[in-house]
Structure 1
């Protein structure tokens, strides 16, 4: 099952990359913005519950899709690209096994426990 999930996430990642290609924007922008959603981990400085909340907002596929759709509807290239980046980054994280977080700690995700547990 894990292999099937990873293949699904690889497919979603490739869809995001293809969407970015369609924008015609330089790949330097993609590289520069790709890890920006990880800044949401700063929420963990306010505790596990706040950290999980902010992390999950910036790593949920639906948020990326909504940004993309609203950006297309409004003709906002910035919002469209933000949606593509959020979506593609989230797929990349899922490929690596980083899922949405539960409020009881960073290591407890919807894909299982991550990292070294003592």
Structure 2
């Protein structure tokens, strides 16, 4: 017997990212002890990776992916926790939230051929094609 799920997978993935983003905000407030302006400041820091696109697309994709990969962020959180480096924990939490926020709007990890080519598809691609 085949059970067909009646939901839009894209919406489900967006909801997952919204929860991850919300979780990062809550965790930051509960465990870091830093002020909210620090969250705002750190939140935009991963986007400095865009500067690497001035070198070339492959280099840009590498640095973008490094600063937007959730596994890297979880590793930072764990490293900061076990090394007792609260700032590293805070950076990991905020960058994780930033990555989730980007994914809500379709900005996935990048392939080296084109900035718009992500693991979620092509940015600004018509969903009906």
TM-score of the aligned structures, taking structure 1 as reference length = 0.94
Which residue of the other structure, out of 113, 116, 120, is the alignment partner of 1:107?
116
Does the Cα contact within 8 Å between 2:42 and 2:95 map onto a contact in 1?
A: no
Tell me which protein shows more helix as a share of its residues: 1
Does the Cα contact within 8 Å between 1:55 and 1:100 map onto a contact in 2?
A: yes
How far 1:116 sits from its partner (Å)? 6.9
Aligned residues: 117
Rounded to whole Å, the distance in 2 between the matches of 1:18 and 1:50 is: 33
The question of 1:10 aligning with 2:47 is answered no
Question: How does 1:79-90 map onto structure 2 within 5 Å?
Answer: 79-90=88-99
Give the aligned partner of residue 57 of structure 2. Answer: 48
Does the Cα contact within 8 Å between 1:63 and 1:86 map onto a contact in 2?
A: no
SS of 1:63's equivalent in the other structure is helix
How far 1:24 sits from its partner (Å)? 2.1
Deviations 1:24-44 (CA, angstroms, capped at 9, x unpaired): 211111111111000011111
Rounded to whole Å, the distance in 2 between the matches of 1:116 and 1:11 is: 25
TM-score of the aligned structures, taking structure 2 as reference length = 0.87
Tell me which protein shows more strand as a share of its residues: 1
Choose 1 or 2 for highest CA Rg. Answer: 2
What runs of 5+ residues in structure 1 fail to find an aligned partner? none
Identify which range, 22-31 or 95-104, moves more after superposition: 22-31
How far 1:3 sits from its partner (Å)? 0.4
